[in-house]
Amino acid sequence: MSAIEFRQYSKRNGDFKIDNLNFQIEKGFITGLIGPNGSGKTTLIRSVMNLIRPDEGEVLVFNQSYLNKEREIKQKIGFVYDEDFFYDHLTVKEMKNIVAAFYPSWNDLLFQRYQHDFALPDKRKMRELSKGMKTKFALAVALAHEPELLIMDEPTAGLDSIFRREILSILSGYIQDGNRTVLFSTHISMELERIADYIVYIQNGSLQFSGTKEDLLDTYMLVKGPNAQLQQHPLPLIGLQQSSLGFEALITKDNYTSIPWNERIAAEKPSLDDILFFTQGRN
């Protein structure tokens, strides 16, 4: 069952176009949305929030359309953006009270727990908070109305490594009941490798992959060896990197198993970061 579904989604912005995307975000799991800067990740997230309308196709959330169910859908969504949209002249408490008024399901005790854990001072004005503290506030208010869907766009930017790990722990606990879903966009792929169940990979407005994290990691092998090996046996490599020490590249597992390798070639399972780097065509 899907929490979000993109159907034949297309959106043009100047010369850039997201073209005919079809994929789902599975309910009850953490899905990582990955891709290089400018690939269309933020556009897709804003479309899920109905802040951007597609030129063609549609986005369904909880199997419903924004055309006639916008209020009902947004009551069930919590969101944390890289940019903040808070009133700078208000205090933390005043800003919280404004947000709380929009949600009948608001749980003030839950907010107070996160406020304590994140060390958010009631009387500090929003403009006095660091970027990291604003992110903590955004996460606290997003979770305090107990949404079914949590959307996070580069949420760990500006946070120290300790709190980044704490966020990952919070997200893992958040989905434990099987009814809650996280869509998590980040350029720090190590974070997704720890917690993501599914991966959606966007590049240049096109869908490169949508499926389980394990399936994506199992698609490729990372191979390394001396440059002379490439001259003797040309290989179907992806994102070849060469230096005086040798070469490094990806190869699909199908191609890897069909080639008679020798002991001069080393192969290992790639990380998400390896896949992102080598499939972006950096030669």
pLDDT digits (tens, 9 = 90+) for 210-242: 999 999 999 999 999 888 888 777 788 999 999
CA geometry: angle at 96 spanning 95 and 99, to 5°?
Answer: 90
Query: CB of 60 within 8 A of CB of 5?
Result: yes
What is the structure's pLDDT at 89? 95
pLDDT digits (tens, 9 = 90+) for 39-81: 899 899 999 999 999 999 999 999 999 988 899 999 999 999 8
The predicted model gives 115-128 an average pLDDT of 94
pLDDT digits (tens, 9 = 90+) for 268-277: 999 999 999 9
Give the whole-angstrom CA distance, residue 142 versus residue 140. 5
The type of residue at 268 is E
More confident residue, 187 or 9: 9
What is the structure's pLDDT at 281? 59
What is the structure's pLDDT at 235? 80
Give the whole-angstrom CA distance, residue 169 versus residue 143. 14
What is the structure's pLDDT at 125? 95
> Is 209 a residue whose pLDDT tops 90?
yes
> Is 283 a residue whose pLDDT tops 50?
no
Return mean pLDDT, the chain: 90
Q: Look at residues 30, 229, 278 and name the one whose alpha carbon lies nearest to residue 149.
A: 30
Give the whole-angstrom CA distance, residue 207 versus residue 200. 8
What is the structure's pLDDT at 223? 93
pLDDT digits (tens, 9 = 90+) for 146-205: 999 999 987 776 677 787 888 888 888 899 888 999 999 877 677 788 889 999 999 989
Residue percentage of the chain with pLDDT more than 70: 98
What is the structure's pLDDT at 1? 80
The predicted model gives 119-141 an average pLDDT of 91
Give the whole-angstrom CA distance, residue 121 versus residue 107. 18
More confident residue, 10 or 1: 10
What is the structure's pLDDT at 35? 87
Confidence band of 106 (pLDDT split at 50, 70, 90): very high
Q: What is the pTM of this model?
A: 0.89
Q: DSSP assignment, residue 126? A: G
Of 17-26, 137-146, 167-176, 244-253, which gets the smallest average pLDDT?
A: 167-176
What is the structure's pLDDT at 100? 95
How many helices and strands, by DSSP H and E, does the chain display?
11, 14
Where along the chain do its domains lie?
2-216, 218-279
What is the structure's pLDDT at 158? 63
The widest CA-to-CA distance across the chain, in whole angstroms, is 69
What CATH topology corresponds to 2-216?
Rossmann fold (3.40.50)
> Is 111 a residue whose pLDDT tops 80?
yes
